[in-house]
Amino acid sequence: MQEIWEYGLGWDEQLPTELKNKWEPWCSQVCLLNDLTLERKYFPYPLDKGKDLQLHIFCDASPRVFEAGAYFRYATANDDIYTSFITTKSRVSPLKKLTLPRLELLGAVLASRILKYLTSKFKFPISKFFLWSDSSITRYWINPLTG
């Protein structure tokens, strides 16, 4: 979508053949998403049967997009570990070109917003929160003392 926007086309203009050839396979397969299902049950057992509940949020970036995704990690009294998907957010990178470390930082901002939102909505006890980034530059920008 961003690549189409970069061409500066009007809403009624035809796509150039090069872009049309990229989009046609995607458009023909989008109907397959109708069969996609995700289980929305967060925990396999009642929370009072669990031993430990953690919230993990991962963030990352590429030149075209930055994102963050959140998961629960649930440990039962028997030390069985389960994970469950909560949510993900992604943003298309601005048309103004930014450095990859800057985009990684925007991913971390998105992760912190997800953390703030989830902790305000979920009222059950979460023992630990983890924000994960593979960017050491971003970690240093956030906390210069520990990086």
pLDDT digits (tens, 9 = 90+) for 5-15: 777 888 888 88
Amino acid code (one letter) for 50? G
Q: How far apart are CA 111 and CA 58, in angstroms?
A: 7
49 has a pLDDT exceeding 80: no
- Return the structure tokens found at 3: 């690549």
Q: Which residues lie below 8 Å from residue 114, measured CB to CB, with a gap of 6+?
A: 57, 68, 70, 87, 89
Q: Give the residues across from 60 on adjacent strands.
A: 67
What pLDDT, in 10s, does the model give residues 54-65? 999 999 999 999
**Band of pLDDT at residue 147, cut at 50, 70 and 90:** low
E strand residue ranges, 1-147: 50-61, 65-76, 81-92, 128-133
Angle (CA) 65 108 53, round 5°: 115
What pLDDT, in 10s, does the model give residues 128-144? 999 999 999 999 999 88
